[in-house]
A = this chain, B = another copy of it.
Amino acid sequence: MRAATLPDPVCGGGEPPDIATDLAARYADMRARTVALAAPLSPEDAQLQSMPEASPAKWHLAHTTWFFSRFVLGDAPGEMPARWDFLFNSYYVGAGERHERAHRGLVSRPALADVLAWRDAIDARMLERLAAGGFTPHQLDLLLLGVHHEQQHQELLLTDIKHALWCNPLQPAYDPGCTIERAHLGRADDADAPAGAPGGWITCGERIVDIGAPPWPGAGFAYDNESPRHRVLLGAHAIALRPVDNAGYAAFVADGGYATPALWLSDGWDLAQREGWRRPLYWHEDGAREFTLAGWSERDPEAPVRHLSHYEADAFARWSGARLPTEYEWEHASPRLAGIGQAWEWTSSAHAPYPGFRPLPGTLGEYNGKFMSGQLVLRGGSCATPAGHARSSYRNFFAPHARWQFSGLRLARDTD
């Protein structure tokens, strides 16, 4: 397996210059896909909220629509059904008062059908106006942002419903035929390589590299936290060609990794004890199965390990005699990395502003900037990331205790 085999969209980066011409088709396809992702869910499933950090599928369907209504069509709150502006604003303080996040699962009305009807109505207005050339260039930019925004929620819809169904003692499948998680890295070329880095390392001497994307709009699409593009000095290091797979992580578990405090960051160890962690989130205690969107399945030893917190990824790296890569090392190596796009990879980098960072103007300035505290950057993409959504400069971020995302790791180490 080689980097050359990776699908283009993941590391492609940026929008083609003629993006506006096919925006209508792209919008419609993307919107349809969200509905398709929710199709296996009953109205009851679509209302589940298993923890404050997760949201109901119905809420994802509504919030992404609210984004187009509010920011692209410019609807005032009074132009939406009563209080929907309050219900479906996520965290934009600049857009007014919001419903408390932890209570999203208590919204039985509007019904799923009402939300889907609203989606249709907004889509009709969007497409009509697009066809009529009724959007300003700035509005077209916001539309494109809305497409990327909803793609993020497509992934969250899947991770959130997976967690919610797992909380049900019946642990039902989202869709027994779902193949989303069928990742497989293939057998490593070098069977003698250390557990963490089968397939070998990509080495890199000390050098100055360019990191990040030019600011959008103006260049191809990228979120505000990916710019400005700037120079970073990398030390001499090596980064694993392949991400850690289930077999590698199982060796850590078998070696007592969860019972060895010296391998763990202090916060992580305390949390693991308090929560009784003994293995990744969805692994069965039988050692053979894992819970997936298709229900309980045999665990593939050659699939990338997923559903790790940062603490577990970090402990595994220490056990391996290695470390997590920085997000810069990752980005620089990305064209040569294998296995990209199966699992988000925790880095050692805090989610911090790049030098010269400027948030988007206005209310959308809250998009990423205000979350630059207490979060760590993940790079890559996952089996649940929509095609074309991720790119080399993409900076995903979560708190270090988060495990319900499709999150794994890749090793790195210093060289000299």
Q: A108 contacts B230, CB within 8 Å? A: no
Please tell me if A45 contacts chain B, counting CB pairs below 8 Å.
yes
Of A23-31, A299-307, A347-355, the one contacting chain B is A347-355
Q: B44 contacts A111, CB within 8 Å? A: yes
Interface size for A (C-beta < 8 A) is 70
Residue in contact with A231 in the complex, picked from B233, B353, B372, CB distance below 8 Å: B233
Residue in contact with A365 in the complex, picked from B168, B208, B262, B269, CB distance below 8 Å: B262
A256 to B41, CA, bound (A): 47
Q: A108 contacts B42, CB within 8 Å? A: yes
Q: A94 contacts B233, CB within 8 Å? A: no
Please tell me if A9 contacts chain B, counting CB pairs below 8 Å.
no
Q: A169 contacts B83, CB within 8 Å? A: yes
Q: B109 contacts A168, CB within 8 Å? A: yes
Residues of B within 8 A of A167 (CB): 103, 106
Residues of B within 8 A of A47 (CB): 44, 47, 108
Q: B45 contacts A42, CB within 8 Å? A: no
A237 to B230, CA, bound (A): 13
Please tell me if A144 contacts chain B, counting CB pairs below 8 Å.
no
- CB interface residues, A 55-112, toward B, < 8 Å: 58, 82-83, 86-87, 91, 93-94, 99, 103, 105-112
Given contacts A112-B44, A262-B365, contact A355 B414 (CB under 8 A): yes
Closest to A86 in B: B169
Q: B266 contacts A91, CB within 8 Å? A: yes
Given contacts A106-B50, A348-B352, A352-B348, contact A208 B233 (CB under 8 A): yes
Residues of B within 8 A of A170 (CB): 82-83, 87, 107, 109-110
A–B complex contacts, Cβ < 8 Å, 30 sampled:
A42-B108, A42-B109, A44-B44, A44-B47, A44-B112, A45-B109, A47-B108, A48-B106, A83-B169, A86-B169, A87-B169, A87-B170, A93-B262, A93-B269, A94-B262, A99-B169, A105-B105, A107-B169, A107-B170, A108-B164, A108-B168, A109-B168, A110-B170, A232-B233, A233-B233, A266-B371, A311-B373, A350-B352, A355-B414, A374-B374
**Contact surface of A with B, Cβ cutoff 8 Å:** 42-48, 50, 58, 82-83, 86-87, 91, 93-94, 99, 103, 105-112, 164-165, 167-170, 172, 206, 208, 230-233, 235, 237, 261-262, 264-269, 310-311, 314, 323, 348-350, 352-353, 355-356, 365-366, 370-374, 400, 414, 416
